[in-house]
Amino acid sequence: MSSELTNSVTKSKKELARIPGYKITKKDKLIKVSVGEGQDFAIPIDFGVEYPGVLAPTVLTYLRGEGKEKNIFVQGVAFVNSDYGVKKDQFEFYYNFTYKSSGEYQLNIYMTFIHSDKNNEQGFRYYPFLMEFCDGAIKCSEKETVPVDKIKTVELFVINRNPETSRGTVTTVKPSSGTPGF
């Protein structure tokens, strides 16, 4: 096998699927992200199936504050195969804004990670996370800001290298019950 072909194969194994939207970085002053340490759990019943590398995340979203102090909080748990060996600092987040067919505004969040190619049938780790989108943080394709109180739904995707094994969850943005964020 030529070294050019070997490098090409090695490179393609480590690449993630193309992620749409804007990457969230520590430089973003209007978006805060916190990921907790992963905790192991096992699925207690063996159904004789091979489980995917990720399961659908559990997500709660709410709008908190008034006027220009309104923020959208996204709180949830991502479930990742424990053999992947993912650490909390290996997650990356992207977002984009879309219109649903109903005409409502939706925030899409993409959670990605790099992992090994190991796989087991029953062991998973769950990673709690919290995100805060301050008013002015969400931008549409024309770079215009979208007021957070206009966002009606949030869809969060946990993206594996194989888009077919990626999972997503849609949730409705609810008014806050006063739960503190960061």
Q: What is the 3-state secondary structure (H, E, C) of 119-179?
A: CCCCEEEEEEEEEEEECCCCECCCCCECCHHHEEEEEEEEECCCHHHCEEEEEECEECCCC
- 181 in a domain, yes or no? no
Structure tokens at 52: 């995917």
- What pTM does this model have? 0.77
The pLDDT value given to residue 139 = 85
Confidence of residue 52 (pLDDT cuts 50, 70, 90): confident
- 58 in a domain, yes or no? yes
Does the pLDDT of residue 116 top 70, yes or no?
no
- 180 in a domain, yes or no? no
The pLDDT value given to residue 17 = 60
Does the pLDDT of residue 36 top 90, yes or no?
yes
The pLDDT value given to residue 130 = 96
Distances (CA, A) of 64 to 59, 135, 152: 16, 11, 13
- Taking residues 13-26, what's their average pLDDT? 74
Structural domain range at position 107 = 3-175
Does the pLDDT of residue 39 top 80, yes or no?
yes
Which has more pLDDT, 75 or 52?
75
Which has more pLDDT, 142 or 144?
144
- 182 in a domain, yes or no? no
Give the integer Cα–Cα distance in Å for 134 and 151. Answer: 12
Which has more pLDDT, 89 or 169?
89
Domain count, the chain: 1
- 156 in a domain, yes or no? yes
The pLDDT value given to residue 59 = 92
